[in-house]
């Protein structure tokens, strides 16, 4: 595939409202729910924090890139998807004699964020929702990259998992994280190339509570982009087999 270019990033995690706050490493306890202005309250009725996390980082990445959220194609990725909504519906199924909330039910699909953002922004462009387990970040990046390779233009890739709710937290425990990259087939100073396999992803600075969150596989790339640090970057969870890419950073011309 042809190299692609990073034009913008987005990040949201409890305590961190955006990528700048994350980079500064100063959590704000007030940050517990993303603003997600792309989806208004009426449209978002019955939707989850997970969907808001994805909407929020799409907006951040598109804004940083100067890309129009009303027209840009989108690729969403997640391992657990709408797990909070599912557990809410399971409670209704067994505790309310099967009477499910229609708003919750229609927002229980893996592509709920894709639908909500497209409706909220009147965006009729290509959109998809990917699930790849622990490898959700790398396969979602692959889907976005292949789209750019064939269609050109820009695409926003957003990957997230919320924390598993009770009782599934007995089986899998981690914190919430959403990241996004606005990627482009066009020229740019931050180039991703060389998608390749790696037998074991190196250790990284991923916080302990996010080590099992599929989105944290993209943190090294987000941090390298923010720091404008060239080099090989793992796009897999630490210690797992997966993929790596190379980030090249063009230096501004002398005198600029």
User: Cα(78)–Cα(32) distance, rounded to whole angstroms?
Assistant: 20
Is position 69 an interface residue for other proteins (rule: CB under 8 A)?
no
Is position 130 an interface residue for other proteins (rule: CB under 8 A)?
yes
H or E stretch at 102: helix 102-106
> Which one of residues 10, 14, 34, 81 is an interface residue with other proteins (CB under 8 A)?
81
Is position 126 an interface residue for other proteins (rule: CB under 8 A)?
yes
End-to-end CA separation in angstroms for the chain: 32
**Minimum distance from CB of 52 to other proteins (Å)?**
15
Please tell me whether residue 228 adopts helix, strand or coil conformation.
coil
Choices 10-18, 110-118, 174-182, 219-227 (CB under 8 A): range interacting with other proteins: 110-118
**Minimum distance from CB of 86 to other proteins (Å)?**
7
> Which one of residues 150, 200, 227, 228 is an interface residue with other proteins (CB under 8 A)?
150
> Which one of residues 69, 139, 206, 225 is an interface residue with other proteins (CB under 8 A)?
139
Is position 170 an interface residue for other proteins (rule: CB under 8 A)?
yes
Convert residues 190-229 into a mask of x (bound to other proteins by CB under 8 A) and - (unbound). Answer: -------x--------------------------------
> Which one of residues 25, 29, 167, 187 is an interface residue with other proteins (CB under 8 A)?
167
Interior angle at CA 57, CA 64 and CA 138, nearest 5: 105
The edge-to-edge listing of strands for the beta sheet with 231-234 is 74-77, 154-161, 177-184, 4-12, 190-198, 242-249, 231-234
**Minimum distance from CB of 241 to other proteins (Å)?**
10
Please tell me whether residue 155 adopts helix, strand or coil conformation.
strand
Residue whose CB is less far from other proteins, 185 or 219: 185
Distances (CA, A) of 181 to 103, 107, 124, 238: 29, 24, 20, 20
Q: Which residues contact 60 (CB under 8 A, 6 or more apart)?
A: 8, 9, 10, 11, 12, 18, 19, 180
Is position 63 an interface residue for other proteins (rule: CB under 8 A)?
no
**Minimum distance from CB of 110 to other proteins (Å)?**
4
Number of residues that bind other proteins (CB under 8 A): 66
Is position 102 an interface residue for other proteins (rule: CB under 8 A)?
yes
Is position 147 an interface residue for other proteins (rule: CB under 8 A)?
yes
């Amino acid at each position: 595939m042809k190299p692609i270019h990073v034009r913008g990033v987005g990040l949201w995690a409890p305590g961190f409202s955006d990528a700048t706050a994350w980079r500064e490493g100063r959590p704000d306890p007030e940050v517990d729910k993303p603003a997600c202005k792309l989806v208004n309250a009426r449209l978002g009725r019955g939707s989850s924090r997970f969907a808001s996390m994805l909407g929020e980082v799409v907006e951040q990445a598109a804004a940083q890139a100067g890309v129009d959220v009303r027209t840009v194609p989108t690729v969403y990725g997640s391992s657990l998807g709408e797990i909070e909504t599912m557990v809410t519906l399971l409670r209704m199924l067994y505790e309310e004699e099967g009477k499910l909330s229609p708003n919750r039910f229609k927002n229980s699909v893996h592509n709920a964020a894709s639908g909500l953002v497209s409706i909220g922004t009147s965006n009729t462009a290509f959109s998809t929702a990917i699930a790849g387990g622990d490898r959700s970040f790398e396969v979602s990046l692959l889907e976005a990259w292949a789209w750019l390779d064939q269609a050109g233009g820009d695409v926003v890739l957003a990957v997230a998992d919320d924390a598993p709710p009770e009782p599934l937290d007995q089986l899998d425990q981690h914190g919430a994280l959403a990241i996004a990259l606005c990627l482009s087939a066009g020229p740019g100073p931050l180039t991703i190339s060389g998608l390749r396999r790696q037998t074991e992803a190196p250790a990284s600075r991923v916080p302990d509570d996010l080590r099992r969150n599929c989105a944290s596989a993209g943190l090294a790339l987000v941090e390298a982009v923010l720091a404008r640090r060239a080099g090989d970057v793992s796009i897999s969870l630490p210690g797992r087999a997966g993929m790596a890419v190379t980030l090249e950073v063009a230096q501004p011309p002398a005198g600029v």
